[in-house]
Amino acid sequence: MDETSESQAPKQPYTRRLSDKILIAFHQACDHGDLETARMLLVCCETAMRNATQPMRDRRRGAETLCAAHERLWFLRNKDASLAEMAEVD
């Protein structure tokens, strides 16, 4: 049987940007309550976005997505304080 090594196998085109894959992992970490891993993934995502070569419109959209991720992490880290503040308003 003729086995093809990885180096000889035809390369598949990537269907998602690296930053998108990292953001998926970030949201999974948030869902599981692993906020330190989520924070580290955001740092990785920022690096991946900074190093990527993409059109300006994609960079703007990526920045908005990254900002939303930072907001989610902030809310998860501060949800007890935020809930207490909302209770005081009522």
- Concatenate the DSSP letters of all residues of 8-51 into one string: TSPPPPPSS-HHHHHHHHHHHHHHTT-HHHHHHHHHHHHHHHHH
Domain count for the chain, please give it.
1
Q: State pTM to two decimals.
A: 0.70
Residue 10 lies in a domain: no
pLDDT in tens, 5-19: 555 656 667 678 899
CB-based contacts of 38, cutoff 8 Å, min separation 6: 26, 29, 30, 73, 76
pLDDT score at 85: 67
Residue 36 lies in a domain: yes
Residue 32 lies in a domain: yes
Residue 34 lies in a domain: yes
pLDDT in tens, 4-58: 555 565 666 767 889 999 999 999 999 999 999 999 999 999 999 888 877 666 7
Identity of the residue numbered 26? F
pLDDT score at 53: 77
Q: Which structure tokens are listed for 22?
A: 């990292």
pLDDT score at 16: 82
